[in-house]
Amino acid sequence: MIGSGAGGATAAKELQGAFDVTVLEAGRAFKPQPLSLAAMEKVKGTGLLFDERLIELIFPSMQIRKTPDMVLVNGLGTGGTTPVCTGNAVRMDQDLRAMGIDLDAEFEAIFQQIPISTGHQRAWRKHTRRLFQIALELGLNPAPMPKMGAYERCKSCGRCIFGCPEGVKWDSRQFLNAAVEKGAALITGCRAEAVEIQDGRATGAWARQGLARRFYPADLVVLAAGGFATPAILDESGIACEPRLFVDPVLTVAAHCPGSYQCREVAMPFVIQMPGHILSPYFDFLSFFFNDEWHYPAKDILGIMIKLAETPAGRVSRRGVEKMLTEADQQQLAAARKTAAELLCRLGAKEEDLFLGTVNAGHPGGSLPLTEREAATLHHARLPPNLYVADATLLPRPLGNPPILTIIAVAMRVSKLCREKLG
Ligand SMILES: Cc1cc2nc3c(=O)[nH]c(=O)nc-3n(C[C@H](O)[C@H](O)[C@H](O)COP(=O)(O)OP(=O)(O)OC[C@H]3O[C@@H](n4cnc5c(N)ncnc54)[C@H](O)[C@@H]3O)c2cc1C
Ligand code: SF4
């Protein structure tokens, strides 16, 4: 197993027992970001935070890449991107269902294994309640966001993307721990580079741990290193992916709103579903720390995130990631900005005082998309019979929505098929 995020931890749990699973994980054990917001604001004041990639110095579990158009974010370490997620739990398998992949049984299992609720709603702040009301009045059908975890205990601290200090949020380390308790081996700090393929079969994976490069033999290799790393590993192994990378770009429209304290509230408390994008209240910490336009104190900024299901055009190879916003994406963002601005202005902000965040994105996938051809096997013909992918790389189209539950469901099905075929 390569990777321990949404897909990898699920597959490790589902496969341990039928196989002796070894999880190769590039990062270390996840630790929440330790600095308080006040301390981070002080560091910001020194002017030292001039490039988003610097976040890795204080928070190694967050990895940042940059393209000319956007900042790309993913988690690195046990649990992958799930410990830095905002807990959103939405079933988004309509594209898979349309191509004949029925994941009802997997979602039923997920809903039994992961607590999901909107229990955070009781702790919403005044401005969030007001925004929700305004969205209702505008006929935008806002809905409280379902979240993974024990959200009735949510302390409304706002640190969701830094790792929940209260243990409220569910993340895939719970599945990883279950796999380890059943006997799976976990090797951290171990970066897989390539899958060795001989006579049409995968024989194991090459990985680097510190200066040492080692071969890990395996009867079955499951790649779940996430939407950026899995295609790069495949490329290094001589298997090309497709230039269909999506990332669900995020743009936050923000207002100066004294005393709103959105920075100390659960992230993305409610969601407005629009064609091709969602809107959700969001304090964009990346923009706050690294974008000069965000010069007000954190407590006085109120933001609304636009998350786009963009054109799936982008490429990952062993040389890196290419990703741009197309003209159509820019147009869609511009239209969504108007709705976000209207919400903020009805709350009292002045249109001319609104400011924008840096475009950033953290839902990479789609480089080896499933089609009707793979509906029964979830296995592409270009892969050796004992090499599977079990992460967002398989998703056929951008969701513009939280993907974790859907990735878990796909990883459960991949694991079932591996057990039946190879276990
Ligand atoms: C800030 C943020 C908030 C988000 N909030 C939500 C949310 O609320 N709800 C939601 O549904 N989605 C959310 N997402 C998206 C979601 O977290 C990801 O889409 C999901 O975790 C992807 O699952 P995955 O298994 O494809 O990859 P990941 O979860 O990223 O897992 C990949 C794993 O592979 C490891 N790895 C990488 N390279 C290698 C290598 N070479 N060798 C070995 N291991 C490697 C990584 O360390 C990681 O453990 C958020 C994303 C971000 C960035
Ligand atoms: S707001 Fe704080 S307590 Fe609530 S889920 Fe987020 S990090 Fe955890």
Q: Which residues lie below 8 Å from residue 142, measured CB to CB, with a gap of 6+?
A: 132, 135, 136, 270, 271, 272
**Where is 63: in which H helix or E strand?**
strand 62-66
Q: What is the pLDDT of residue 79?
A: 98
Nearest ligand 1 atom, CA 77: 47
Residue from 59, 86, 266 to probe ligand 2 pocket by mutation (most atoms less than 8 Å from CB): 266
Whether 84 lines ligand 2, by a CB cut-off of 6 Å, is no
Confidence check: pLDDT of 47 > 90: no
Ligand number nearest CA of 408 is 1
Distance from chain centroid for Cα 294:
24
Confidence check: pLDDT of 49 > 90: no
Cα–Cα dist 3/1, whole Å: 6
- Cα 156 to middle of ligand 2, angstroms: 5
**If one looks up domain 6-29+171-243+366-422 in CATH, what number appears?**
3.50.50.60
Each residue's pLDDT tens digit, 305-317: 999 999 999 999 9
pLDDT, average across residues 109-131: 97
Pick the residue whose CA is nearest to atom 53 on ligand 1. Answer: 362
Confidence check: pLDDT of 391 > 90: yes
Pick the residue whose CA is nearest to atom 50 on ligand 1. Answer: 85
- Cα 183 to middle of ligand 1, angstroms: 24
Cα–Cα dist 36/222, whole Å: 38
Distance from chain centroid for Cα 108:
22
Q: What is the pLDDT of residue 150?
A: 96
| Category of 320 on φ-ψ map: left (φ > 0), alpha (ψ -120 to 50) or beta | left
Whether 403 lines ligand 1, by a CB cut-off of 6 Å, is yes
Confidence check: pLDDT of 178 > 90: yes
Residue from 21, 31, 81, 286 to probe ligand 1 pocket by mutation (most atoms less than 8 Å from CB): 81
pLDDT, average across residues 371-398: 98
Whether 83 lines ligand 2, by a CB cut-off of 6 Å, is no
Whether 164 lines ligand 2, by a CB cut-off of 6 Å, is yes
Nearest ligand 2 atom, CA 264: 1
Each residue's pLDDT tens digit, 77-113: 999 999 999 999 999 999 999 999 999 999 999 999 9
Spatial CA neighbour of 364 closest among 389, 392, 324? 392
pLDDT confidence tier of residue 121, bands split at 50, 70 and 90 = very high
pLDDT, average across residues 130-139: 98
Cα–Cα dist 113/111, whole Å: 6
Q: Could you tell me if 282 and 402 are in contact, meaning their C-beta atoms sit under 8 angstroms apart?
A: no
- Cα 416 to middle of ligand 1, angstroms: 22
Each residue's pLDDT tens digit, 338-348: 999 999 999 99
Buried b (16+ CB within 10 A) or exposed e, 122-136: ebbbebbebbbebbe
- 195-201 contacts at long range (C-beta below 8 A, 24 or more positions apart): 195/221, 195/223, 195/233, 195/234, 195/237, 195/239, 195/387, 196/237, 197/237, 197/238, 197/384, 197/387, 200/384, 200/385, 201/384, 201/385, 201/386
Nearest ligand 2 atom, CA 164: 7
- Cα 169 to middle of ligand 2, angstroms: 7
Confidence check: pLDDT of 48 > 90: no
Helices (H), 92-243: 94-98, 104-113, 126-137, 173-181, 226-236
Ligand number nearest CA of 393 is 1
Each residue's pLDDT tens digit, 200-241: 999 999 999 999 999 999 999 999 999 999 999 999 999 999
Which residue shows structure tokens 């809903």?
A: 111
Whether 3 lines ligand 1, by a CB cut-off of 6 Å, is yes
pLDDT, average across residues 182-195: 98
Architecture per CATH, 65-73+117-166+249-361: 2-Layer Sandwich (3.30)
Whether 160 lines ligand 2, by a CB cut-off of 6 Å, is yes
Cα–Cα dist 401/268, whole Å: 12
Whether 169 lines ligand 2, by a CB cut-off of 6 Å, is yes
All structural domains of the chain with their residue ranges: 6-29+171-243+366-422, 65-73+117-166+249-361
Confidence check: pLDDT of 13 > 90: yes
Pick the residue whose CA is nearest to atom 12 on ligand 1. Answer: 402
Confidence check: pLDDT of 423 > 90: no
Whether 226 lines ligand 1, by a CB cut-off of 6 Å, is yes
- Cα 155 to middle of ligand 2, angstroms: 6
